[in-house]
Amino acid sequence: MSFLHALTVDVEDWPQSTLDHALPVTERAVVNTRRMLELFARCNVRGTFFVLGRLARKFPHIVREIDDAGHEVASHGYSHKPVFKIGPQTFADELEHSVKLLEDITGRPVHGYRAPDFSITSESLWALDILGEYGLTYDSSVMPVPMRRYGIDGFPRHIHRLDNGLIEVPLSTISFAFRRWPVAGGGYLRLYPYRVTAHAIRRLQSEGLPAVVYLHPYELDPAEIREVSFPVAARTRVTQGLGRRHIESRLSRLFTEFRFGPLSEVIEPNLETAPAAAPLSATSGFRPRPASPVGVESVLR
């Protein structure tokens, strides 16, 4: 059987999650999520959908559609405010609210969590303790390379169990030119040429690491940026809009070249074969190094 990589989707509405958290979640997110479900069905792939609580509350039927199609439903928090900004109490409240909402809609337990904008950083490692205490099985929120707004320098790249029992699934990076580079998700998937992403996934595979591909439904919607009713900064237009037109064909190609599945199926075999390394605790044993200067990719996500 060929190597299984992880396919993940953060289900949210682009203006509300990226431009202003106070904006309403719009129907456009539902249309785009459906487009993604259709693409996955055509390509016969399943994945993990981290659904934002605010979207699930307003449009519960799309959560049911995701679940009915055989995908895993997991939590993307409630408001999309960064974890390091909301603090432990609000984080715990949002987590509970969002998980309960999803479980009530699907009738199944939620096992996983992904923070908005990978906002579990060295300043918010307490979130990993709260996720463990709450009884979740895994988290997939840490980018193991320092970026401008997120990432932790020196964090392990492989799937590993923390001292509190929580399993951490870091986002994919490869080493090149003396540093780690994020690959295989979001802006990186849209902006790097296809062959770069495919090469990166083969590299990860040769290291025994599954790629963790992450997507957003809006990335299949090239018209959105010119159709939104408020001004969007030029830089945001480029980083958030470029490559949306190509993502569907790029994903179809990726799905024929590599095998993908939900995180719940990727974690178990990889936890057993993870490279030997001292298990790290969310609060002890791991000492993040000071952040180093970052490159141009820091505004992508």
Per-residue b/e over 187-224, b at no fewer than 16 CB within 10 Å? bbbbbbeeebbbebbebbeeeebbbbbbbbbbbbbbeb
108/152 Cα distance (integer angstroms): 32
Query: Between 94 and 160, whose beta carbon lies closer to Zn ion?
Result: 94
* Minimum CB–partner distance for residue 50 and Zn ion (Å): 8
Q: Do residues 220 and 249 lie in contact, with contact meaning Cβ atoms separated by under 8 Å?
A: no
* Minimum CB–partner distance for residue 293 and Zn ion (Å): 25
- In 3-state terms, what secondary structure has residue 108? coil
97/53 Cα distance (integer angstroms): 8
81/106 Cα distance (integer angstroms): 24
Q: Shortest Cβ contact with Zn ion: which residue?
A: 10
* Minimum CB–partner distance for residue 139 and Zn ion (Å): 14
* Minimum CB–partner distance for residue 158 and Zn ion (Å): 23
Query: Between 215 and 280, whose beta carbon lies closer to Zn ion?
Result: 215
201/180 Cα distance (integer angstroms): 14
Query: Between 138 and 218, whose beta carbon lies closer to Zn ion?
Result: 218
Q: 148: buried, middle or exposed (CB in 10 Å: 19+, 13-18, 0-12)?
A: middle
Q: Tokens for 92, please give them.
A: 């715990």
* Minimum CB–partner distance for residue 73 and Zn ion (Å): 15
Query: Between 67 and 117, whose beta carbon lies closer to Zn ion?
Result: 117
Chain contacts with Zn ion (rule: CB under 5 A)? 10, 12, 17, 116
Amino acid at 300: L
Query: Between 25 and 267, whose beta carbon lies closer to Zn ion?
Result: 25
